[in-house]
């Protein structure tokens, strides 16, 4: 016969088993020693700020332009006989570009020479006739009216010689115009007229253009605030009666494909008034361009030194961060505790950033491991050295004077 256990007895047995298991677990837990060890402080890399003199710059955006641009046109009518340059070629002042058929103008010169010879012969005859009549007049052999006519003929012949000489000179000038030469040193554009075409018929035909690009101009706009600083800087020169640009304010320039500012020149021109609509004034720099790396119309980055920050503090830009409170860096104190320091930044020097406020020499700034550093937490710092920016951003005085001086004879 099958025996059935009441539900009350089954519930009591289950409770007994659970209680017994909990007692065994509690007993086992009390018998085990706690071996928890806190993790070591996270490692970070720290470095002291670099201390050095830094030149602060005003930065602008500008565009390059040719120092001179000349349209080469045909000044006489004729057929293009020969072209003496390639499209886009660098040419020097006086180089032959085109030749127009010379034969008609050589004939005009010969005709003018013949006319001049005829006029000189007529003048010699008139002078001899006048001398004879003057002698006859003294002997009362002719009237005064005849003498006056002879003088008038002599003067008319002299005027004919002068007119013939002018026609000869004009014929020679037209003959010279058959050789079209470059008036400046520079770079040519493409040819606009091919050999065999008639030019100069009715109007001077445009043949090509030549632009001077060494040195080259860079135009940019300066704000009112920068203009005021510039005027203050150049005030002593104006008191001496000199031009402002005699200060030879250095200018550095770079284009989109270049790193930094490899081209150096000097301020060349400043406009005479501020544009009231934009609050800016146009300025111009003269940049040596011997390698022809700059062409007219290029957008460029321009900077001009404004002041020297003595004993400035520099840290890597990657060591700075920003939150709602502003720009800051993390500093490790003498107890290896991380502190947050609000900072005010200045100009950038390579990969480093000038810190105007918030740091002092000797501070240990976290430059690597920022993720592991938390303000108020302890860290394990490892010290490194920040490399100062390359000296190429501050050229020597001799190199700068050489760069800012315009070339004696431009090459392009």
What average pLDDT does range 278-297 have in this prediction? Answer: 92
Residue 12, pLDDT > 70, answer no
pLDDT value for 119:
96
Looking at the domain assignment, is residue 19 inside a domain?
no
- Rg over CA atoms, the chain: 45
Residue 18, pLDDT > 60, answer no
Q: 216 with 294: CB under 8 angstroms?
A: yes
Residues 152 and 226 in one domain: no
pLDDT value for 300:
95
pLDDT band, very low/low/confident/very high, at 350 (cuts 50, 70, 90): confident
pLDDT band, very low/low/confident/very high, at 34 (cuts 50, 70, 90): low
Residues 159 and 230 in one domain: no
Comparing C-alpha atoms, which of 301, 295, 292 is closest to residue 407? 292
Looking at the domain assignment, is residue 279 inside a domain?
yes
Comparing C-alpha atoms, which of 11, 48, 31, 55 is closest to residue 312? 55
Domain boundary among 161, 177, 193: 177
How many whole angstroms separate alpha carbon 166 and alpha carbon 159? 11
Residues 296 and 217 in one domain: yes
How many whole angstroms separate alpha carbon 323 and alpha carbon 225? 30
pLDDT value for 394:
44
Write the CA distances from 205 to 185, 210, 380, integer angstroms.
21, 15, 80
Looking at the domain assignment, is residue 362 inside a domain?
no
* Overall domain count for the chain: 2
Percent above pLDDT 90 for the chain: 61
Percent above pLDDT 70 for the chain: 82
Looking at the domain assignment, is residue 106 inside a domain?
yes
Q: Please provide the average confidence, as pLDDT, over all residues in the chain.
A: 84
Q: 54 with 349: CB under 8 angstroms?
A: yes
Looking at the domain assignment, is residue 215 inside a domain?
yes
Residues 252 and 296 in one domain: yes
Residues 219 and 288 in one domain: yes
Residues 219 and 297 in one domain: yes
pLDDT band, very low/low/confident/very high, at 273 (cuts 50, 70, 90): confident
- Between 188 and 229, the higher pLDDT residue: 188
Degrees, nearest 5: CA angle 116-122-127:
125
Looking at the domain assignment, is residue 30 inside a domain?
no
User: Which residues are paired to 79 by β-bridges?
Assistant: 198
Q: 288 with 214: CB under 8 angstroms?
A: yes
Comparing C-alpha atoms, which of 116, 63, 88, 109 is closest to residue 256? 63
pLDDT band, very low/low/confident/very high, at 81 (cuts 50, 70, 90): very high
DSSP at 204: P
| pLDDT tens sequence across 352-393 | 999 999 999 999 999 998 888 899 999 999 999 888 766 544
* Domain encompassing residue 220: 211-301
DSSP at 94: T
Kindly report the pTM of this predicted structure.
0.67
Residues 160 and 234 in one domain: no
Looking at the domain assignment, is residue 331 inside a domain?
no
Q: 261 with 254: CB under 8 angstroms?
A: yes
Half-sphere exposure of 383 (CA within 13 A, CB side): 8
Residues 289 and 234 in one domain: yes
Measured over all CA atoms, what is the biggest interatomic distance in the chain, rounded to whole angstroms? 195
Degrees, nearest 5: CA angle 275-279-282:
55
pLDDT value for 408:
42
How many whole angstroms separate alpha carbon 245 and alpha carbon 112? 52
Residues 221 and 294 in one domain: yes
How many whole angstroms separate alpha carbon 380 and alpha carbon 216? 55
Phi, psi of 16 (to 5 degrees): -65, -45
What average pLDDT does range 386-408 have in this prediction? Answer: 51
- Between 409 and 139, the higher pLDDT residue: 139
CATH number where 146 lies: 1.10.287.470
How many whole angstroms separate alpha carbon 329 and alpha carbon 343? 7
Domain boundary among 301, 325, 341: 301
Comparing C-alpha atoms, which of 346, 352, 268 is closest to residue 302? 268
How many whole angstroms separate alpha carbon 87 and alpha carbon 98? 12
Residue 395, pLDDT > 60, answer no
Asked, as a colleague might, if the bond just before 215 is cis with ω within 30 of 0, I would say yes
Looking at the domain assignment, is residue 272 inside a domain?
yes
Q: Exposed (0-12), middle (13-18) or buried (19+): which is 323, by Cβ within 10 Å?
A: exposed
* Residues 6+ away with beta carbon under 8 Å from 14: none
User: Which residues are paired to 357 by β-bridges?
Assistant: 344
Q: Exposed (0-12), middle (13-18) or buried (19+): which is 40, by Cβ within 10 Å?
A: exposed
Give the helix ranges, DSSP H, for 83-223: 103-138, 144-176
Write the CA distances from 188 to 200, 206, 384, 412, integer angstroms.
20, 13, 55, 10
Q: 227 with 274: CB under 8 angstroms?
A: yes
Q: Using N-to-C axis directions, what is the helix angle for 103-138 and 144-176, rounded to 10°? A: 160
CATH number where 290 lies: 2.40.30.170
């Amino acid at each position: 016969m099958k025996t059935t256990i009441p539900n009350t007895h089954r519930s009591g047995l289950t409770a007994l088993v659970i209680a017994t298991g909990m007692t065994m677990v509690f007993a086992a837990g009390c018998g085990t020693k706690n071996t928890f060890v806190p993790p070591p402080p996270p490692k970070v890399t720290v470095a002291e700020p670099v201390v050095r003199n830094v030149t602060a710059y005003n930065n602008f955006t500008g565009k390059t332009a040719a120092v001179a641009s000349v349209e080469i046109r045909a000044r006489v009518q004729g057929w293009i006989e020969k072209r003496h340059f390639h499209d886009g070629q660098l040419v020097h002042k006086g180089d032959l570009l085109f030749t127009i058929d010379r034969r008609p103008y050589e004939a005009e010169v010969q005709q003018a020479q013949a006319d001049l010879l005829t006029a000189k012969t007529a003048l010699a005859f008139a002078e001899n006739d006048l001398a004879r009549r003057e002698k006859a007049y003294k002997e009362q052999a002719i009237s005064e009216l005849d003498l006056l006519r002879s003088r008038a003929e002599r003067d008319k012949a002299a005027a004919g010689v002068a007119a013939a000489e002018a026609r000869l000179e004009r014929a020679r000038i037209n003959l010279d115009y058959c050789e079209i030469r470059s008036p400046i040193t520079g770079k040519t554009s493409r040819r606009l007229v091919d050999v065999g075409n008639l030019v100069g018929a009715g109007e001077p035909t445009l043949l090509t253009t030549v632009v001077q690009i060494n040195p080259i101009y860079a135009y940019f706009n300066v704000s009112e605030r920068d203009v005021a600083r510039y005027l203050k800087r150049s005030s002593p020169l104006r008191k001496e009666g000199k031009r402002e640009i005699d200060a030879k304010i250095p200018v550095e320039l770079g284009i989109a494909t270049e790193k930094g500012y490899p081209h150096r020149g000097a301020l060349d021109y400043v406009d005479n008034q501020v544009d009231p609509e934009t609050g800016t004034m146009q300025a111009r720099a003269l940049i040596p361009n011997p390698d022809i790396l700059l062409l007219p119309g290029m957008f460029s980055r321009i900077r001009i030194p404004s002041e020297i920050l003595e004993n400035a503090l520099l840290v890597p830009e990657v060591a700075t961060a920003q939150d709602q409170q502003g720009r800051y860096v993390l500093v490790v104190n003498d107890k290896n505790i991380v502190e947050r320091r609000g900072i005010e930044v200045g100009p950038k020097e390579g990969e480093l950033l000038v810190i105007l406020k918030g740091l002092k020499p000797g501070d240990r700034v976290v430059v690597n491991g920022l993720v592991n550093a938390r303000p108020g937490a302890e860290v394990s710092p490892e010290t490194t050295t920040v490399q100062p920016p390359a000296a190429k951003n501050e050229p020597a005085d001799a190199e700068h004077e050489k760069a800012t001086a315009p070339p004696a004879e431009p090459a392009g």
